Amino acid sequence: MSGEGTRLIMGPFNRVEGDLEVRLDTSLDTVVSAEVSSPLYRGFERMLVGKPVHDALVYAPRICGICSVSQSVAAARALARLSPAAVPEAGGYAVNLVHAVENLADHFTHFYLFFMPDFAREVYAREAWYAPIAARFRAIKGSAAREALQARASWMEIMGLLAGKWPHTLSIQPGGSTRAISRPEKVQVLTLIRRFRQYLETTLFGDKLEAVGELASTEALHAWSEGRSSDFAQFLQVARALELDRLGRTRNAHMSFGAYEQGAGHLFAQGVWVAGAVQPLETASIAEDVSHAWYAQMAGAHGPLRDAPVPDVQNEDAYSWCKAPRLGGQVVEVGALSRLLVDGHPLALDMARKGGHVTARIAARMLELALVVPAMEGWISAIDPDAPFIDHSALAPVGEGAGLTEAARGSLGHWLCADAGRLDHYQIIAPTTWNFSPRDRRGVPGPLEQALEGTPIRPGEEEPVAVQHVVRSFDPCMVCTVH
Amino acid sequence: MTRPVRLLWLQSGGCGGCTLSLLGAQGPDLVSALELAGVEIVWHPSLSAASGREARARIEAVASGDEPLDIFCLEGSVMTGPDGTGLFHRMAGTDEAMMRVIERVALRADYVLAVGSCAAFGGITAAGGNEVGAVGLAYDGRQAGGLLGPDFRSGKGLPVINIAGCPIHPDWFTQTVQQIAAGVFDERDIDEWQRPLAYTGHLVHHGCARNEFYEFKASAENLCDMGCMMEHLGCKGTQARADCNIRAWNGSGSCLDGNYPCINCTAPGFEEPGHEFTQTPKISGIPVGLPTDMPKAWFVALASLSKAATPARLKDNAARDRMVTLPRDKARDAGGAKPGKGKQ
C-alpha cells in the first residue's frame, strides 16, 4: 500500500535484460526519489586481465547476450588501436550490417516483448483503448508475440549468413569481417532485409519506412497516427491518452559516440547535445565515480584507461554494482533518442524540446527502425564482392586504446592496455551504466533516478504502473551495465 | 484432465544470451513450440508480465512447495562469492542470495535443466581467476558438485540435465522440453556430462562444409580463409560434441560457416583452453588436440599421406576467403557431351 513517506522496493524488475531493482521513496501519490540498484556482479573487467589480447573477442561478446555484437565491435575497435589495420570498405559495410541487425532486433524485441505488454495490465482494464491493445500485446499470449518472434527470427537469418550465428560471433575482427559476401549472397541478404521491411511496413508502421522517417514534428507524428491501426500507431494513441510525454522527464545532456561508420563519418553523428546545441565529444573527460557502488573507494577518478575499481561489498554508501560514469562531471543520457538528437533529426528535436520522456524514447527507437533499414539496403548494395573484407595486420604486443561504438541502448566503450601480448587493463562503460547510474559523490542522481522523480502513483497501487513505463522506456540492459 | 507442464526459468550469473538465442527458434517459433508441448510458463524474466512482488510470489509458491513445478530452468552460473555468501547476486527485491533461491527451487522440481554452459559448468563467468565463485548447478568446471552436489537427483530421479553451449541452439532446448513433456526423457538420453545426446551424439565436425579441406589437410591460415581451421586456427570441431553443422544456426549458419573456429563451447572448462582461442597449440608441429578416437600415430601417418595427395584446387582455395579454383566436370572439357550421339 502506498502511504505517506513509504519506501517501496520493486524487484525482480523483469522484461528488461538482466537483474534490476528499483527503490522508491513515495508520498501519497508521487515518487519523491529513486535509487536504481544493479544486484549482479560478474567481473569481466578483472577476468580479462592476463588474457592473450586477441581473446578479448571471445570473452567480450559474452558480457551480453542481447548486445553481443556491440560488445564485439567495441572490443575489435579497441584492439585495432594495437594494429595498423585499416578495415577495408566492404568489411566495414559487413560489420555495419551485422551490427544493425542486432541493434534493430533489440528495438523490435523491446517494443513487442518488453515494453508494450504493460498496457495489457488489469489497471487499464477500464480505458477505452484497452480491449484491442490487451488482445494484441499481452505478454506471451497476445497475438503480437508470435508474429513478432517469427519476423525477428527471420531477420536474424542475416546473422546466420554474415556472422555464423547470433549471439556471440567471432566474425568481427580488428581488421574487418571474417565472412566475405559473394554475389549470390548479396541478393540473399537484400531479400532478408526486404522481408523485414515488409513486416515493418505492413504491421509495425502501416506505412512506407521513408514516410515514417520523414515525420518532422510531434504534431505530424500524431496526425500520422490518427486513424491508423498499425502497432506503432496504436502505441501513439495510447501514449496520448495516458500522456506518456509527461512521464519520465529528464533535462540531461545527450551523448552519442557515432553509429555505423560510413567513410570518415557515421550514419548517425558523434557528439554531445546540450540544451539544443551539439558540442564535440571529449572522451578524455569520461570518468567513473564509485562513491555509491560496491567498489573500494579511489583517491580520484582518472578515466577508464587508468582506473580499475576493485569490488568491495563493505562500502556503506553503496546500493548498486553499477558505477556512475560522468562526462566532464555531468550526467549524460544515451540511447536512440540521444543519437537522433545529436544527429539533428527534426522529430527528435521537437519531441525533446523540453527534455526526454517516455513517448520520445519509444518513438526514437521506432524512428531508427525506419531510418536504418533503408541504409542497410544501401550498404549491401554498395558491397563489392570481389574486394577484401578484412585486413590481417598483426596486433602489437604493447599498446593501449579505446573502442567506441553505439549499441542499441546507446554509447558503449571499451578501454584496454596491453603488455607482452596480454591484456593488463580492461574497462567497459555500457549504455545502461550511463542511464541507470547511481548517485555520484556530489549526490547527483543518474538519469533514470531523475526520470522517476515525480512519477504519479494511482490510488491503491502497490507497484505503480507508471514506474514500469518509465523504467522500461530506457530499454535497460543490466548485464551490460555491470558486466 | 492433465494439467499443463509448469516451467519456471531463473537467471543468475550469465549474459541472457541463451534466452535471446531461444527467441530465435524457428519452425515453430518459441511460443508455439512451448504451447505444442503443453508447457505453461510459471515465470520467465524476459517474457512474463509479472514483475516485482507478483513475480516473487510465483517463485516463492514453487520454492515452498505450495505449487508443483515440473521443469526448472537456470540460465547463467550460480554466484557463490564473495566468500561463499552469494552476494555477487542478490535476488532483486529481496535480501536473499540468488544461489539460495536457486537451491530451494531446484529441490522442488521434477526436472532441473541447466541452460547454457554457465548454468551447467560455470562457463565464461568462471573464467580467469573466478573471483566471483561462479559454478554450475551440478558441476564446478569438470568437477562434479557445483551448487547441488554430485549426488543430486531431481523429482523424477534424474541428475541436472546440462543443455550446454555458449549460447545454446534453440532446438537443443525446445526439443529437450518437448521430450520431457511427452514423458520420454530418461537416463538413456544424456551423455557422460549429462548433456542431451540428441545433440551431443554428434561432433561439430559432422557436416562441416570444410570436410574436404580436412581430409586433405588443406589448412586455413587466417580467420576468413576457406580451409580447415584445425591445424592453425584452434578449431576443435573434431573433438567438440554438438550438431552445429548438421542443424543450422539462424537459418543457415554455424561458427565454421562464419569462418571462425569451433571453441568447443559445449564442454566443461571451454572458457580456459590454456592457449589463445584462435591458435592451435602444437608439439613438434602436431596439434595437441587430435580428432576424437583417433590414435596419434595414425593421425600423423594419414595427415602426411593426405597432405601429399592434396588436389591443387584445395591448395589454391584453402588460404583464400573465397573459391578461386572451382570444381569442374572433366567430361565437359573432354568433349564428353556429344549431343549428336545421344539416344534416338
> Helices (H), strands (E): how many in chain A?
18, 16
Residue B145 predicted with pLDDT over 60: yes
> Residue A3 has what pLDDT?
45
As a whole number, the mean pLDDT across chain A is 97
Select from A434, A426, A463 the least CA-distant residue to A451.
Answer: A434
Instruction: Tell whether omega for the bond before B268 is within 30 degrees of 0, i.e. cis.
Output: no
Residue B342 predicted with pLDDT over 60: no
A166 touches chain B (CB under 8 A): yes
| 3-class secondary structure per residue, B41-100 | EEECCCCCCCCHHHHHHHHHHHHCCCCCEEEEEEECEEECCCCCCCCCEECCCCCCEHHH
Residue B154 predicted with pLDDT over 60: yes
Q: Residue range A280-305: average pLDDT?
A: 95
Contact A160, B249 (CB under 8 A): yes
> Residue B337 has what pLDDT?
53
Min CA distance, B100 vs chain A (Å)? 14
B165 touches chain A (CB under 8 A): no
Interval A273-287: pLDDT, tens: 998 999 999 999 999
Q: At what angle do helices A358-382 and A336-343 cross, to 10 degrees?
A: 70
Torsion of CA B33, B34, B36, B37, to 10 degrees: 120
**Which segments within B174-217 are labelled E, that is strand?**
none
Q: Select from A68, A139, A388 the Cβ nearest to the Cβ of B17.
A: A68
Residue B343 predicted with pLDDT over 80: no
Select from B269, B268, B217, B252 the least CA-distant residue to B238.
Answer: B217
Residue A222 predicted with pLDDT over 60: yes
Q: Where are the domains of chain B?
A: 5-200, 203-324
The Cα A413–Cα A339 span in angstroms is 15
Confidence of residue A85 (pLDDT cuts 50, 70, 90): confident
Q: Residue B43: CB partners within 8 Å, gap ≥ 6?
A: B8, B9, B50, B55, B58, B59
Residue A5 predicted with pLDDT over 90: no
Spatial strand order of the sheet with A410-419 comes to A399-407, A410-419, A422-429
B53 touches chain A (CB under 8 A): yes
Give B276-282's long-range contacts (Cβ < 8 A, gap of 24+).
B276/A52, B276/A54, B276/A55, B276/B234, B277/A54, B277/A55, B277/A58, B277/B234, B278/A54, B278/A170, B278/B223, B278/B233, B278/B234, B279/B232, B279/B233, B279/B234, B280/B230, B280/B231, B280/B232, B280/B233, B280/B234, B280/B235
> Residue B336 has what pLDDT?
54
As a whole number, the mean pLDDT across chain B is 96
Q: Select from A41, A109, A166 the Cβ nearest to the Cβ of B132.
A: A41
Confidence of residue A1 (pLDDT cuts 50, 70, 90): very low
Phi, then psi, of A464 in degrees rounded to 5: -55, 130
> Residue A300 has what pLDDT?
82
Residue B111 predicted with pLDDT over 90: yes
**Residue that is written with C-alpha cell 554452459 in the block:** B117
pTM metric for this prediction: 0.97
Instruction: Tell whether omega for the bond before A12 is within 30 degrees of 0, i.e. cis.
Output: yes
Phi-psi region of A371 (alpha: psi -120 to 50; beta: other; left: phi over 0): alpha
Q: Where are the domains of chain A?
A: 6-482
Q: Select from B29, B41, B87 the Cβ nearest to the Cβ of A153.
A: B29
CATH architecture of A6-482: Orthogonal Bundle (1.10)
> Residue B51 has what pLDDT?
97
Cβ of B23 and A311 within 8 Å? no
> What does the radius of gyration of chain B's CA atoms come to, in whole angstroms?
24
Residue A353 predicted with pLDDT over 50: yes
| DSSP letter, residue A40 | B
Contact A471, A8 (CB under 8 A): no
Select from B229, B205, B208 the least CA-distant residue to B218.
Answer: B229
Residue B341 predicted with pLDDT over 70: no
> Residue B344 has what pLDDT?
43
The Cα B148–Cα B14 span in angstroms is 18
Contact A7, A24 (CB under 8 A): yes
Torsion of CA A105, A111, A113, A115, to 10 degrees: 140
Q: Select from A64, A139, A178 the Cβ nearest to the Cβ of B258.
A: A178
Q: Give the H or E element holding residue A335.
A: none
What nine digits make up the cell of A333?
Answer: 543520457
Q: Looking at the DSSP assignment, which residues form a beta bridge with residue A17? A: A477
B20 touches chain A (CB under 8 A): yes
| DSSP letter, residue A173 | E
Mutate to test the interface with B, among A1, A165, A409 (most CBs of B within 10 A): A165
Interval A32-42: pLDDT, tens: 999 999 999 99
> Residue A4 has what pLDDT?
58
Cβ of A12 and B56 within 8 Å? yes
**Which residues in chain A touch residue B11, judged by CB atoms under 8 angstroms apart?**
18-19
Mutate to test the interface with B, among A7, A9, A14 (most CBs of B within 10 A): A14
- The interface residues of chain B toward chain A in range 79-118, judged by CB-CB distance below 8 A, are 79, 82, 87-94, 98
> Residue A225 has what pLDDT?
98
B246 touches chain A (CB under 8 A): no
> Residue B338 has what pLDDT?
57
Select from A410, A408, A399, A430 the least CA-distant residue to A60.
Answer: A430
A-B Cβ pairs (cutoff 8 Å, strict):
253
Q: Residue range A391-398: average pLDDT?
A: 97
Q: Residue B41: CB partners within 8 Å, gap ≥ 6?
A: A140, B7, B8, B9, B34, B47, B48
Interval A330-348: pLDDT, tens: 999 999 999 999 999 999 9
Q: Residue range A148-174: average pLDDT?
A: 98
AA letter at A102 = E
Interval A384-394: pLDDT, tens: 999 999 999 99
> Residue B116 has what pLDDT?
98
A420 touches chain B (CB under 8 A): no
**Residue that is written with C-alpha cell 578501454 in the block:** A415
- By three-state DSSP, how is residue B329 classified? coil
Mutate to test the interface with A, among B117, B250, B255, B271 (most CBs of A within 10 A): B250
Select from A199, A442, A436 the least CA-distant residue to A335.
Answer: A436
pLDDT above 70: percentage of residues in chain A:
99
Mutate to test the interface with B, among A168, A183, A393 (most CBs of B within 10 A): A168
CATH architecture of B5-200: 3-Layer(aba) Sandwich (3.40)
AA letter at A72 = S
A150 touches chain B (CB under 8 A): yes
Q: Residue range B93-120: average pLDDT?
A: 98
Residue A56 predicted with pLDDT over 80: yes
Contact A244, A359 (CB under 8 A): yes
Cβ of B253 and A160 within 8 Å? yes
Select from A467, A329, A327, A301 the least CA-distant residue to A410.
Answer: A327
Cβ of A42 and B257 within 8 Å? no
**Residue that is written with C-alpha cell 552469494 in the block:** B86
Q: How far is CA B248 from CA A77, A168, B172, B244, in A?
A: 29, 15, 12, 6
Contact A376, A193 (CB under 8 A): yes
Select from A19, A100, A67, A61 the least CA-distant residue to A409.
Answer: A67
A154 touches chain B (CB under 8 A): yes
Confidence of residue B208 (pLDDT cuts 50, 70, 90): very high
> Residue B108 has what pLDDT?
98
> Residue A328 has what pLDDT?
97
Residue B1 predicted with pLDDT over 50: no
For A188, the closest chain B residue by CA position comes to: B252
What nine digits make up the cell of A416?
Answer: 584496454
Interval A233-253: pLDDT, tens: 999 999 999 999 999 999 999
Select from B285, B234, B271 the least CA-distant residue to B256.
Answer: B234
Interval A90-113: pLDDT, tens: 999 999 999 999 999 999 999 999
ipTM of the complex: 0.97
What nine digits make up the cell of B282?
Answer: 602444437
A139 touches chain B (CB under 8 A): yes
Min CA distance, B165 vs chain A (Å)? 11
Interval B237-296: pLDDT, tens: 999 999 999 999 999 999 999 999 999 999 999 999 999 999 999 998 899 999 999 999
Q: Select from B21, B47, B321 the Cβ nearest to the Cβ of A167.
A: B21
The Cα A66–Cα A430 span in angstroms is 13
Contact A360, A346 (CB under 8 A): no
CATH code: domain B203-324 is 4.10.480.10
**Which residues in chain A touch residue B87, judged by CB atoms under 8 angstroms apart?**
313
- The interface residues of chain A toward chain B in range 48-107, judged by CB-CB distance below 8 A, are 48-52, 54-55, 58-59, 62-66, 68
What nine digits make up the cell of B144?
Answer: 562434479
